[in-house]
Amino acid sequence: QVQLEESGGGSVQAGDSLRLSCAASGRSDTPSLMGWFHQRVGQERKFVAGAWVDGSTDYEETLKGRFTVSRVHNTVYLQINDLQPADTGVYFCAERYWLGSSSFSTLNDYNHWGHGTQVFVSS
């Protein structure tokens, strides 16, 4: 059974940085894509960044610059710099194993999800 476990969240002040981690387990093969989504209270889950098995990355255009995604085998990281109160929420890790699709930013592009890690940014 595939499991994703996020870590690295917490309560920080505006301007601080955090590095979120997500480790995948339960399968011997490597996910073709691992991604991060952000969900604020009362809002839908939104794509942040994704890291492909070939090393390439994709970002939500408006978040480029402060967010950096990286990946080592079955672990994906999200570095967030200059955190702002709007970054508050739950960050979810997701993955998929199937090939043949270049789509990466919708919920349906992934078939396994973690439980999320909470980030709170105070001003």
For the chain, what is the mean pLDDT?
A: 95
**CA distances from residue 101 to 60, 91, 96 in whole angstroms, order as listed:** 18, 24, 11
pLDDT at residue 52 in the model: 95
Q: Which residues contact 53 (CB under 8 A, 6 or more apart)?
A: 30, 31, 32, 33
pLDDT digits (tens, 9 = 90+) for 54-100: 999 999 998 889 999 999 999 999 999 999 999 999 999 999 998 88
Top pLDDT among 51 and 102 is at 51
